[in-house]
A and B are shown apart, each in its own frame.
Chain A
Amino acid sequence: MTLESLVRTSSILICAGSGGVGKTTTAAVLALEGARQGRKAVVVTIDPAKRLADALGLEGLTNTPSRIEGDWPGELWAVMLDTKGTFDALVRRHAGSEEQASGILDNRFYRNISGALSGTQEYMAMEKLYELHEEHDFDLVVVDTPPTRHALDFLEAPRTLTHFLDHRVFRLITAPTRGLVKAVNVAASVFLRSVSRVVGTEVLEDALAFFAAFEGMEEGFKQRAARVGELLAADETAFVLVTSPRRDAVAEARYFASKLAESSLAVRGLVINRVHPVFLPGSFEATRARATTLEGTALGTLYANLADFQEVASNEEDHLAGLTSGLSGTAVARVPYLPTDVHDLDGLAGIAGYLFGRTAEL
């Protein structure tokens, strides 16, 4: 399997990895390759660096994909994730009536959710992916994932959010009071009174009003979340791990790979960005020893410098060995440590050269 065939055969590619390893750029390059192959591709970015966003024509949050014109047989579209807008659309979709929708959308507690409830951004990224895949005619949806504290938040996010929306204590309070439920209700009230002592009644009332307004929509949300989960596990969906060869990034990627395996989700691609060049194979210790012997000469300095880079390269290989050995059958690509950041389509095409084997590796 090569990354090129992965792009050709998948409907959904999810780029995952820790912060600062080039996920957004990699996602854009994968979508661009889809367009070059003649497919209709869209990339969902989370928080692109400004110049890359400009290059992709992403000015502000629109929540609808914009088309990027270029010299390729297919189509390339890009959209920047608007967490709140996506959530709003989801609420409108599941609301029983116009009144119910606006009751929720105008609630102060609801307005806080997208910014304050952890996991919401992750879930909305997956929701957006589902929407683009199911309701638009894209052949390929490539999604960047948010830089999270725990890289797998987005896998658990649908469950976390539906659990939250279905919160038992709050549900009891807002449910119609009949018979037995009423007794439980009293206990819950005592509990909530204690909560209000800490945060104040105003804040709590907003929350209760939200849960009351949400009544009846939990089921729709749950079913939708279940379908999103199924799509992530489908054969047409592939995960692409993105990492740098640094120890901490690789450790996170390994953790990620093992968690995906636990959930029976396949890592089919591995992109290693920012790899240092190998100037001379062999042991850095020998070169370092030579540098020490020749210290004070120009040649000594040259050896000291070479030893530095041999050491980095050898460490990078050591770190990566543990990762790649566990990922047999995965398409792997290495991108060298490039002199400048990528902020235009030419830059993306340059990375594509490394990802799809069109550029000799260093």
Chain B
Amino acid sequence: MRVDPAQFFTASRVVIVAGKGGVGKTTVTAAWARAASMAGCSSLIVEVEGKSGLATAFGREPLSYEEITLHGGGGPLPEGEIRARALTPDDALLEYLRDHGMQRISKRLVSSGALDVVSTAAPGIKDILILGKVKQLEASSTADVLVLDAPAAGHAVTFLRSPRGLIDAVRVGPINTQAREVLDLLTDVARCQVVLVTLPEETPVNELVETAYSLEDEVGVALGPVVVNGVYPDLGDMTVDPATAADEAGAHLQPGEAAALAAAARFRASRTALQREQLERLADALPLPQIRLPFTFAAEVGPAEIDRLARAMIAEIEAMPSLAGERPGSLAT
């Protein structure tokens, strides 16, 4: 039975995309939102690291705390709208204090740098401010899907562990309440899942497996499919000798072309074999479905490339083995 993409994208409203630096986490965040849009779901992308890559992927200026629309939606299908915003702990704190009748001290708390002191006194406060805001966005049902572009891998574990730590460190008061509510969100598989991103290479795969188990053990958050970025698309058999292939096609090769065609074919074949080995190793180590996205040969990740990756993502989702209707998976099998 084919997996219905719309059902897939709304299995939980909050999707946290995490992965080590350099694996294309931001590209995957953009492609995830675009694929959800193609499946008719509206999405809000939340960016927390202040990087500009996400906006560039949609051909836009860097994000700010104010929400902007990246993709209008509608059309014949119809497609879902994509909006995006950045969240910073300082902005989230200002908003929190304003909402809790402490506007008077809010500016000073932020401008004096006291937030640094407070967040050192109770580690995770900055993270809980961000996650608390995400929880608020989730409760407001502002979009079908909330895609959070999380901090890089090692930091992602710390980031998502913050509510547990804070519940112990700050035993009463609003921070404690906030931490409890965030933990409820993170550990509710019907509301939240983490999508880990990696490359089909040795070190990124090792780190992803480690992160996956840490997240499940230390946070108790459900893991969605793993997204493997940069997989060479299969072009078919390339073992044929270029000269023979030219004869068969009735074509003439330019000087140097035969050697170049053969070398490029060998390179792809050996790379593909290495990638396959890593993909299998990943599958053995983690019983989670994989969404494999094609390597980007193009110059830059812009709207056209994001569309292409989103279509590839949907094809992968539809081909998933009978996950239909199931909740995101658990590593305990």
Q: Name A200's contact: one of B170, B264, B301 (CB within 8 Å).
A: B170
B264 and A207 form a contact (CB under 8 A): no
Set of chain A residues within 8 Å of B265, measured between Cβ atoms: 302, 305-306
Known: A304-B235, A315-B299. A207 touches B117 (CB 8 A): yes
A115 and B123 form a contact (CB under 8 A): yes
A20 and B154 form a contact (CB under 8 A): no
B217 at the binding interface (Cβ < 8 Å): no
B238 at the binding interface (Cβ < 8 Å): yes
Complex CA gap A300/B245 in Å reads 9
Q: Name A305's contact: one of B125, B256, B264, B301 (CB within 8 Å).
A: B264
Stretch at the interface among B77-85, B105-113, B308-316: B105-113
Per the 8 Å Cβ criterion, residues 124-171 of A in contact with B are 147, 149-150, 163-164, 167-170
Set of chain B residues within 8 Å of A328, measured between Cβ atoms: none
A200 and B256 form a contact (CB under 8 A): no
B21 and A309 form a contact (CB under 8 A): no
Known: A195-B105, A195-B114, A198-B175. A302 touches B242 (CB 8 A): yes
Set of chain A residues within 8 Å of B152, measured between Cβ atoms: 19, 147
Set of chain A residues within 8 Å of B108, measured between Cβ atoms: 191
One digit per residue, 1 when the CB lies within 8 angstroms of any chain B CB and 0 when it does not, for chain A 298-333 equals: 111111111011011001001000000000000000
Closest to B154 in A: A47
B297 and A312 form a contact (CB under 8 A): yes
Per the 8 Å Cβ criterion, residues 287-327 of B in contact with A are 297-301
A109 and B22 form a contact (CB under 8 A): no
A197 at the binding interface (Cβ < 8 Å): yes
Set of chain B residues within 8 Å of A149, measured between Cβ atoms: 49-50, 151
Q: How far is the CB of A32 from chain B (nearest CB, A)?
A: 19
Total residues of chain B contacting the partner, CB 8 A = 73
User: In the complex, which range does the number of interface residues on chain A fall in?
Assistant: 35 or more
A contact patch SS: helix
Complex CA gap A202/B118 in Å reads 12
Complex CA gap A132/B165 in Å reads 35
Most buried by B among A20, A21, A115, A202: A20
Set of chain A residues within 8 Å of B176, measured between Cβ atoms: 200
B120 at the binding interface (Cβ < 8 Å): yes
B contact patch SS: helix
B263 at the binding interface (Cβ < 8 Å): yes
B122 and A199 form a contact (CB under 8 A): yes
B7 at the binding interface (Cβ < 8 Å): no
Q: How far is the CB of B250 from chain A (nearest CB, A)?
A: 9
Q: Name B238's contact: one of A20, A112, A167, A305 (CB within 8 Å).
A: A305
A301 and B236 form a contact (CB under 8 A): yes
B117 and A308 form a contact (CB under 8 A): no
Per the 8 Å Cβ criterion, residues 180-207 of A in contact with B are 191, 194-195, 197-200, 202-204, 206-207
Closest to B153 in A: A19
Most buried by B among A112, A197, A206: A112
Set of chain B residues within 8 Å of A72, measured between Cβ atoms: none
Known: A200-B170, A247-B300, A305-B265. A195 touches B22 (CB 8 A): no
Set of chain B residues within 8 Å of A169, measured between Cβ atoms: 112, 114, 117
Set of chain B residues within 8 Å of A248, measured between Cβ atoms: 53
Q: Name B267's contact: one of A109, A115, A197, A277 (CB within 8 Å).
A: A277
B114 and A306 form a contact (CB under 8 A): no
Q: How far is the CB of B37 from chain A (nearest CB, A)?
A: 23
Per the 8 Å Cβ criterion, residues 122-170 of B in contact with A are 122-125, 151-152, 154, 158, 169-170
Complex CA gap A301/B117 in Å reads 60
20 additional contacts, CB 8 Å, given A112-B122, A203-B121, A305-B265?
A19-B20, A47-B154, A49-B203, A109-B120, A167-B117, A169-B117, A198-B97, A199-B118, A200-B173, A200-B175, A207-B120, A279-B264, A280-B257, A280-B260, A280-B264, A297-B248, A311-B297, A311-B299, A339-B271, A341-B203
- B-side residues, CB < 8 A to A, are 20-23, 49-50, 53, 97, 102, 104-105, 108-109, 112-114, 116-125, 151-152, 154, 158, 169-176, 201-204, 206-207, 235-238, 240, 242, 245-246, 248-249, 251, 256-257, 260-265, 267-268, 270-271, 274, 297-301
Between-chain CB contacts (< 8 Å), 26 pairs: A20-B21, A20-B23, A47-B154, A113-B120, A167-B117, A169-B117, A199-B121, A199-B170, A200-B170, A203-B121, A204-B118, A244-B22, A247-B300, A279-B260, A279-B261, A279-B267, A280-B256, A280-B257, A297-B248, A298-B248, A302-B240, A302-B261, A308-B268, A309-B268, A339-B271, A340-B274
Listed from nearest, the 7 A-B pairs whose CB atoms lie closest are A19-B21, A20-B22, A116-B123, A280-B260, A299-B245, A298-B245, A297-B249
